Structure 1
């Protein structure tokens, strides 16, 4: 049984999935992640490439996405350049997020996800979850009678708990949502975001619907009430705690920091080294500190099997995707290799994001892929993904500082004094300016800092006495 924890008070929203007191997954939602998978935009065609049979479409802030012809259901027996022209607006959906210097991948084949079904305005097919395949024919007959021309639907596992009347109503509501988006898009002449589901908590909760969950904890009552309406079947296990408990003995910020480190030491004495590069992620296993009384060959297999649990956990926590290569300890026996593959496949079934295991290469490296739905924690939080030393970017430091300031406010402190750089101070000021904080926040501007130091927190008198001794700094008041 698993547990879900959501921190939504601060601007950066964080979700955790915990199983057997181990953090299995971390997800982050920021305002800058509006181009997440599923977001729907009115886009403006920048350029149509005949040779590539694709269009480049501007979404917002100059960001351009890639729209291949095969993702345009309205283009039949002709070429994309005869239908789309430069400057025209078009309704598109993000199907793959931007990655490094590549813009997001787009589709005009819009999908609108609901509680039990996914509505496909141009889908022209009915698909049923494999987990309820014994009822496939029944659902196909039911929806065939309801769908209009060109429409399609994906029937989710959760449909099995809903009446046919409820499914009919949901289809109507999703159809109405799409028609509303279509009407909006007809009157908009510039790139505009029309529709986005929050990653935290909505999308993350949806990902774990087929997983046994025993407890869902929110730090805000208002967020819990919203989720009760969307996920009424989980209402009985939802609760509010203003301060989330420590996970694995760590705060959320300590968990995030640990999930950026290249080296992981397990309690069994196994060391993993994770290298994220632009092309792929390489995971190396070292067993120098592992102790066993078994034969060398059995020990190698034992280490590899034990390492799988940590490897899969780190992949999920770090949201690593794309090509992943794992350098397991070398095994000569093909049967032992197959045992490792089988164990890895079984463990990956617990990952809500699709993975595919390709097996061992001739060089003894295991190849696998994981669907890219969001950028990794390292890419999101750091500007130094190719460096041995991980440095948080300005935004990540500011989001962390915002959480700390909110905690000071909850603790009834009157004031605090922070020493940090001008960039971090300015970004933090943007985050907290609309928050209700009963706290005065002063900042000592120190250009040498790429992080922050809390110099004083407590009564206003104590903080002002300290500030009076720091006149060689530029001093700003954030709140």
Structure 2
């Protein structure tokens, strides 16, 4: 069973993918952390580099975007004859900025749906080979009449699961969406025109439609909005407070796991995950078996079990780039080959391109994984150590108060670090106290690391404790 659960009522939006009762993917959309991939801008051509055959575009983000000539569908000659300095263009981010480098952009705009991708300047159509010949022929015929020579589209594999009429209806909706965007007044360019939100849109579209059993979101209005955007998923989308509350508590526990570089799995196997600038290094230890000698088959079994969990952790932590895994040493070459083949099969379950390249001469398994979105681990912890960042602590407290602590109590006494209060004001525009049924009493304490729930109980009991201890408290937080 594949289920996606979204939390959108909290300031930090989250999405978790649950497969067979295990959280296998976790996505964060946090205020102040901008993800540009997929966003469409009205940009101004600032400079044309003839040598690079590229243009530098001002998109209003403080750093210039980079547009290559091949990313301009109508470019037939040199870039200097295709675009002019000072010209305004619709461009879409295809690669996030890194360091001092700006984002990479394309003038081949794409408006994605579940079954189709509309390209206003694509100039051609592509249809998945998995569609039946009859469906392909019908779609080709219909598309010839509904798309101009300038337009294009991609018919995705998911279209094989529905009737051609439904695919065409979605395409018309995407075309209308682009028309509304493109007819907006070009006021104050350069500027952001449209953003493809990771939560919920990109996460929903990531998985084949027929593979999703349920999409749960934490609000009636949000649920209805999703049903309107994705009518073919209407029966799978629901508002389920019990399920979202359970998932919120699971997220709190998951975060504790993710900031720890060491994890123990069944059978006394320990996996250590260390990230460096160049790569991620994973070590497999069988510490409960120290002093014992493994047979070849036992070694393979332990490595198989560890390998499955390692690939799960790559998805869960969204680790990309080069990954080197030091499994328990296998003397039998055929066992190593079996492990590589099994890892390749499991890696295919990851929709982010993951390649198991084999064993190096040093006996390390080499894996590469495509970079997609930002790793939740980067957001959850400080650069050094395994403590939560103060920003993460703010969002954890909000979720804890909304979904967990004090459900059956009248009042809560909360102590917070003064710096925590400052960061909370920066991150959360509204009061948490107004969202919960309990009466919340908050006091500042510089000795508290981030925050601490001091007391829960009746209003009279909490007031008495505050009075006896001489606390100065605030009811608005």
TM-score by length of 1: 0.85
Change (3 A) 1:413 1:357: same
Distance 1:64 1:469 in 2: 60
The answer for the alignment partner of 1:72 in structure 2 is 72
Tell me the secondary structure at the aligned position of residue 289 of structure 1.
helix
Distance 1:257 1:51, change over 3 A: farther
1:319 positional shift: 1.3
Equivalent in the alignment of 1:2: 2
Range moving further from structure 2, 312-321 or 220-229: 220-229
Please give the root-mean-square deviation of Cα atoms over the aligned residues, in Å.
Answer: 3.4
Do the aligned partners of 2:42 and 2:192 also contact (CA within 8 Å) in 1? Answer: yes
* Structure-2 change in CA distance of 1:446 and 1:249 (3 Å): closer
Counterpart in 2 of 1:431? Answer: 428
In the alignment, the residues of structure 2 paired with residue 442 and residue 47 of structure 1 have an alpha-carbon distance, to the nearest angstrom, of: 57
In 2: Cα distance, 1:246 partner to 1:329 partner: 40
Partner of residue 128, structure 1 = 127
Take 2:267 and 2:392, find their aligned partners in 1: how far apart are those partners?
A: 32
Q: 1:402 aligns with which of 376, 398, 401?
A: 398
Alpha-carbon distance change, 340 to 410 in structure 1, aligned in 2, over 3 angstroms: same
2:89 paired residue number? 90
SS of residue paired to 2:393: helix
CA drift of 1:263 comes to 0.8
Contact map agreement 1:425 1:443 (CA 8 A) in 2: no
Partner of 2:358: 359
Structure 1 residue 32 corresponds to structure 2 residue 32: yes
Cα 1:268–1:122 shift into 2, 3 Å: farther
TM-score when normalising by structure 2 = 0.86
Tell me, yes or no, if structure 1 residue 19 matches structure 2 residue 19.
yes
Query: Structure 2 vs 1, CA of residues 295 and 245 (structure 1 numbering), >3 Å: closer, same or farther?
Result: same
Cα deviation digits, residues 17-56 of structure 1 (max 9, x gap): 2222222111222343443421222335565555544444
- Give 3-state SS (helix, strand or coil) of 1:271's partner: strand
Taking a change above 3 Å as real, the CA distance of residues 234 and 149 of structure 1, as seen in their structure-2 partners, is: closer
Residue 183 of structure 1 corresponds to which residue in structure 2? 183
Q: Secondary structure at the match of 1:216?
A: strand
1:199-348 matches, within 5 Å, as 199-210=198-209, 212-244=211-243, 251-289=250-288, 296-348=295-347
- Corresponding residue for 1:381? 380
Number of equivalenced pairs: 473
Q: CA deviation at 1:9?
A: 2.3
249 and 394 in structure 1: CA distance in 2 versus 1, 3 angstrom threshold? closer
Helix, strand or coil at the partner of 1:197: coil
- Shift in Å at residue 194 of structure 1? 1.9
Deviations 1:365-391 (A, max 9, x none): 22222222211011122231xx3x223
Secondary structure of residue in 2 paired with 1:411: coil
Call closer, same or farther: CA 1:427–1:463 in 2, change over 3 Å: farther
SS at match of 1:319: coil
Q: Distance between the aligned counterparts of 2:371 and 2:134, measured in 1?
A: 30
Is contact 2:130–2:160 with CA below 8 Å preserved after alignment?
no
* Equivalent residue, structure 1, for 2:387: 391
Distance 1:66 1:135, change over 3 A: farther
Name structure 2 gaps, 5 residues minimum: none
1:333 CA displacement:
4.5
In structure 2, the residue matched to 1:152 is 152
**What runs of 5+ residues in structure 1 fail to find an aligned partner?**
none
| 1:386-435 CA-partner distances (Å, limit 9, x unpaired) | x3x22322321111111123237993755433322334323434526167
Return closer, same or farther for 1:250/1:183 CA change in 2, 3 Å cut-off: closer
Q: How far apart are 1:258 and its partner, in Å?
A: 0.7
Residues 166-193 of structure 1: CA deviation (Å, up to 9, x unaligned): 3333222222222332233x61334432
Structure 1 distance, partners of 2:77, 2:395, is 50
| Distance change (3 Å), C-alpha of 1:309 and 1:420 | same
**Aligned twin of 2:62:** 62
In 2 relative to 1, CA 133–262 (structure 1 residues): closer, same or farther, beyond 3 Å? farther
Question: Which range moved further: 464-473 or 366-375?
Answer: 464-473
Distance 1:450 1:111, change over 3 A: farther
Task: Give the whole-Å Cα distance in 2 for the aligned partners of 1:452 and 1:81.
Answer: 60
Distance in 1 (CA, whole Å) between partners of 2:186 and 2:325 is: 51
1:272–1:471 CA distance, 2 compared to 1 (3 A): same
Distance 2:195 2:413 in 1: 37
Return the alpha-carbon distance in structure 2 between the equivalents of residues 445 and 135 of structure 1.
69
Distance 1:41 1:168, change over 3 A: same
Contact 1:7 1:244 in 2 (8 A): no
